[in-house]
Amino acid sequence: MERLHKFMARSGVGSRRYCEELIRQGRVKVNGQVVTELGIKINPSIDIVEVDGKIVRPKEEKIYLMLNKPAGFITSVTDMYGRPTVIDLLGGLSLRVYPVGRLDFNTEGL
C-alpha cells in the first residue's frame, strides 16, 4: 500500500504537493471514484488511478549492471552459433536485460 499522492509523484504527475492539490481539487479518481481526501492509500498493482481522465502509470525503474565479462562469452542476448552469452552469466534474472557496448568473444573486461 502506498499513499496516493506519493504514487502520483513517483509516476511523474508532479511534486507531492502538486499532487495533493490535484486531489483536493477533485481531479483524481481511484477505480472510477473521485477522491478528495488526502492520505488515502492505494495498491499500485491493483488500483487504477486517473488524473483529469488520463490513467497514471508508474514509471519503469531502470537498473544498470556492470559486468566484468570473462573471455569465452559473446556480448549479446542470444547467439545463432550457440556460444555462451553474457546473459548466461546472470543466472535466472526475472528482468529484461540488454547488453550495451561490445567486447569480442575472446576479450575480457568491463
Q: What is the mean pLDDT of residues 87-108?
A: 86
Distance CA 40, CA 105 (A): 54
Alpha-helical segments (H) within the chain: 4-10, 16-24, 86-89
Distance CA 79, CA 21 (A): 52
For 11-29, write each residue's pLDDT tens digit.
999 999 999 999 999 999 9
The upper half-sphere exposure of residue 22, i.e. CA atoms within 13 Å in the direction of its Cβ, equals 22
Domain extent listing, the chain: 2-55, 62-110
Residue 52 a catalytic site member: no
Distance CA 105, CA 76 (A): 10
For 41-79, write each residue's pLDDT tens digit.
999 999 999 999 999 998 877 788 899 999 999 999 889
Distance CA 91, CA 88 (A): 6
Instruction: Give the predicted TM-score (pTM) of the model.
Output: 0.58
Q: What is the CATH code of the structural domain delimited by 2-55?
A: 3.10.290.10
- Marked catalytic residue, from 47, 79, 88, 104: 104
- pLDDT score, position 14: 95
Distance CA 104, CA 94 (A): 26
